[in-house]
Amino acid sequence: HFPRKVRIVEVGARDGLQNESVPVATATKLELIRRLSDSGLAHVEAASFVSPRWVPQMADHREIMLALRDSSAESPTTMSTTTKSATTYSALTPNMKGLEAALECGVREVAVFGSASESFSQRNINCSIAESLERFAPVVEHALKAGVRVRGYVSCVLGCPYEGEIAPAEVAAVARELKAMGCYEVSLGDTIGVGTPLKAKHMLEQVSREVPITQLAAHFHDTYGQALANLYAVLEEGIAVIDSSVAGLGGCPYAKGASGNVASEDVLYLLEGMGIETGVDLAALARTGDWISRELGRPNGSRVGQALMAS
């Protein structure tokens, strides 16, 4: 049942950097994004059009997306050297204000982000789950009218930092609404990395009754060291889109203790070992992970990255 190919959505420049306490220069972010694209990643999440008061690290969203639009227009720099195809750069847009700014910057793909937990929804986007869905509907509608694709996120799919266990039925209900609104894909976030493989499978079984598995992605954080095991479990169920972060950068400012997303290098090593194609150059990505870890003055959060750079 394992897929033959997996699409990696690289979220390090967004989910990763949003949680860095030291300011990261816009030029460094752009260099990171260029290197990620050059390693063959076809989808790089690059910014969030959110309030700079809530997430200061994403305050340069306009500069980032305008620079990527301009470099795409000039073409070669954003053509991945491995796949020779253009990279999609996406951005988070929680409301109309965010979407309008994103459209002004020529963004071609956006994401709305909801939660399966009421408390997390309040803390993260300052509204209830029902209010968030009401807010997302016009965002998705306007984006689609403008020819922009929309991805949906559901947070806390395997647990919440404030509520603990979350029922899979809650996840399925939010995922169903996001798909019904017009999201082409729904990414299931284990925001605080508390899941284990059989729970991940069970959750996915319930969600895939509402949204076909071909329209679902796994977005797992590695806080408890379970992310690769959980990914193996959902790959076996047919998941073929994985969100990951170079060097395991990341966390979430509204989920204390949420360490990085599963490292992209670790995911690639797992997939290569299983004979699953990704189109990404692992050695190039490991060099990028090593470079950004040094830039940020933090240890490399990828075990595979560490091993490759030491050998």
Q: Would you please indicate which residues are annotated as catalytic (active-site) residues?
A: 252
- Contact (Cβ atoms closer than 8 angstroms) between residue 9 and residue 241: yes
Q: Which does 153 bind (CB under 5 to 8 A by kind): ligand HMG, Mg ion, none?
A: ligand HMG
Continuous segment of H or E residues that includes residue 250: none
Q: Exposed, middle or buried, 217 (CB in 10 Å: 0-12/13-18/19+)?
A: buried
Residues touching Mg ion, count (CB under 5 A): 1
- In the complex with ligand HMG, the residue whose CB is nearer, 54 or 224, is 54
Q: Does 291 bind ligand HMG (CB under 6 A)?
A: no
- Window 253 to 272, contacts with ligand HMG (CB under 6 A): 254
- Contact (Cβ atoms closer than 8 angstroms) between residue 171 and residue 199: no
Q: Does 190 bind Mg ion (CB under 5 A)?
A: no
| Chain-centre distance for alpha carbon 236 | 21
What is the per-residue binding string for Mg ion in 9-28, x denoting contact by CB under 5 A?
A: ------x-------------
Q: Exactly one of 24, 33, 105, 125 binds ligand HMG (CB under 6 A); which one? A: 125
Q: How many helices (H) and strands (E) does the chain have?
A: 11, 8
Spatial distance between the Cα atoms of 192 and 252, rounded to a whole number of angstroms: 8
- In the complex with Mg ion, the residue whose CB is nearer, 154 or 240, is 154
Cβ density class 48-61: b for 16+ within 10 Å, e for less: bbbbeebbebbbbb
Spatial distance between the Cα atoms of 146 and 90, rounded to a whole number of angstroms: 15
Q: Exactly one of 6, 8, 16, 18 binds ligand HMG (CB under 6 A); which one? A: 18
- In the complex with ligand HMG, the residue whose CB is nearer, 18 or 78, is 18
Q: 157 Cβ partners below 8 Å, 6+ apart? A: 116, 166, 171, 188, 189, 190, 191, 195, 203, 207
Spatial distance between the Cα atoms of 217 and 261, rounded to a whole number of angstroms: 14
Q: How far is the CB of 124 from ligand HMG (least distance, A)?
A: 5
Q: Does 2 bind ligand HMG (CB under 6 A)?
A: no
Q: Exactly one of 117, 124, 264, 300 binds ligand HMG (CB under 6 A); which one? A: 124
Residue nearest to Mg ion (CB): 15
Q: Which does 183 bind (CB under 5 to 8 A by kind): ligand HMG, Mg ion, none?
A: none
Q: Exactly one of 12, 98, 161, 248 binds ligand HMG (CB under 6 A); which one? A: 98
Q: Exposed, middle or buried, 25 (CB in 10 Å: 0-12/13-18/19+)?
A: exposed
Structure tokens at 111: 């994401």
Q: Exactly one of 72, 80, 155, 306 binds ligand HMG (CB under 6 A); which one? A: 155
Q: Exactly one of 28, 51, 119, 215 binds ligand HMG (CB under 6 A); which one? A: 51
Q: Whose CA is closest to 196, among 173, 171, 225, 174?
A: 225
- In the complex with Mg ion, the residue whose CB is nearer, 15 or 266, is 15
- In the complex with ligand HMG, the residue whose CB is nearer, 218 or 308, is 218
Spatial distance between the Cα atoms of 142 and 145, rounded to a whole number of angstroms: 5
Residues touching ligand HMG, count (CB under 6 A): 24
Q: Which does 251 bind (CB under 5 to 8 A by kind): ligand HMG, Mg ion, none?
A: none
Can you give the binding site for Mg ion, defined by CB under 5 A?
Answer: 15
Can you give the binding site for ligand HMG, defined by CB under 6 A?
Answer: 15, 18, 48-51, 54-55, 92, 94-95, 97-98, 113, 124-126, 153, 155, 189, 191, 219, 252, 254
